[in-house]
């Protein structure tokens, strides 16, 4: 099987899963953005997916991501930075990526806004730590609405960035009902934040290869798919 055939089969399979759950939930297929989690994947393979219509790519490692941004320019994807963010990396992230999924501090959001020299704003998602895992970044459910409001107000006054919603990477759950219960917490945080502060957040980045159906059922607007799309990483 050629790389093109491989990419076509994989992309079709994932899109079929998304279409099926969207139909079941009476959601428009256009309401869910498929992000290819492309870390450690070769540019040649990624290019096959782009040629077949994949429009969004997510990278976890800054230097690897920038290298791919420089080499994958036609067709040009929308780039998402998903990894943990160090303060000394915010300038590079702000000026190379369109979306940033891992913000969990006001300081990081402010630096992204101030250091973005492009005309377009970098779109920020506040990371939720739904399971209070010490090994993961993110803010707790109880603290998220207030922090989201602080970030939205601060970066509005600066320009250069805009807060669009939340992202989360919860612990793996064994059953569909457990998965949906967890993702419902993220949806509730978004709804509560909008009710309390009138921010108008719309985006929920949640769901990966093993739980994308549950995530979409609970309102995901972005799913980040790696293994089921590209296959095992090098």
| Digit-coded pLDDT (tens) for 11-25 | 999 999 999 999 999
Q: Residues 129-174: pLDDT tens digits? A: 988 777 778 899 999 999 999 999 999 999 999 999 999 999 889 8
Given a contact cutoff of 8 angstroms between Cβ atoms, the answer to whether 200 and 165 are in contact is no
Closest CA to 83 of 98, 61, 63: 61
Closest CA to 231 of 46, 18, 16, 32: 46
User: In the chain, where are the structural domains located?
Assistant: 3-230
As a whole number of angstroms, the distance between CA 118 and CA 6 comes to: 36
What number of residues does the chain have?
234
As its CATH architecture, domain 3-230 has Alpha-Beta Barrel (3.20)
Q: What CA–CA distances, in Å, run from 177 to 26, 41, 50, 183, 198?
A: 19, 32, 34, 10, 30
Q: Residues 25-72: pLDDT tens digits? A: 999 999 999 999 999 999 999 999 999 999 999 999 999 999 999 999
Closest CA to 94 of 115, 69, 64: 115
As a whole number of angstroms, the distance between CA 139 and CA 213 comes to: 24
């Amino acid at each position: 099987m050629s790389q093109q055939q491989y990419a076509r089969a994989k992309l079709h399979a994932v899109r079929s899963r998304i279409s099926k759950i969207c139909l079941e939930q009476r959601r428009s297929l256009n309401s869910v953005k498929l992000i290819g989690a492309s870390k450690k994947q070769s540019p040649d393979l990624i290019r096959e997916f782009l040629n077949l219509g994949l429009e969004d790519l997510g990278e976890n490692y800054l230097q690897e991501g920038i290298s791919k941004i420089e080499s994958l320019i036609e067709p040009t994807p929308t780039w998402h930075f998903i990894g943990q963010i160090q303060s000394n990396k915010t300038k590079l992230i702000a000026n190379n990526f369109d979306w940033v999924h891992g913000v969990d501090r006001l300081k990081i959001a402010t630096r992204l806004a101030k250091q973005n020299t492009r005309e377009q704003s970098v779109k920020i998602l506040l990371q939720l730590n739904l399971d209070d895992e010490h090994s993961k970044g993110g803010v707790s459910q109880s603290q998220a609405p207030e922090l989201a409001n602080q970030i939205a107000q601060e970066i509005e006054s600066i320009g250069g960035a805009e807060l669009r919603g939340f992202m989360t990477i919860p612990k793996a759950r064994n059953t569909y009902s457990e998965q949906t219960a967890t993702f419902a917490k993220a949806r509730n945080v978004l709804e509560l934040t909008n009710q309390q502060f009138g921010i108008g957040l719309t985006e929920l980045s949640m769901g990966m290869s093993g739980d994308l159906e549950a995530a979409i059922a609970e309102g995901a607007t972005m799913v980040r798919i790696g293994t089921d799309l590209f296959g095992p990483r090098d």
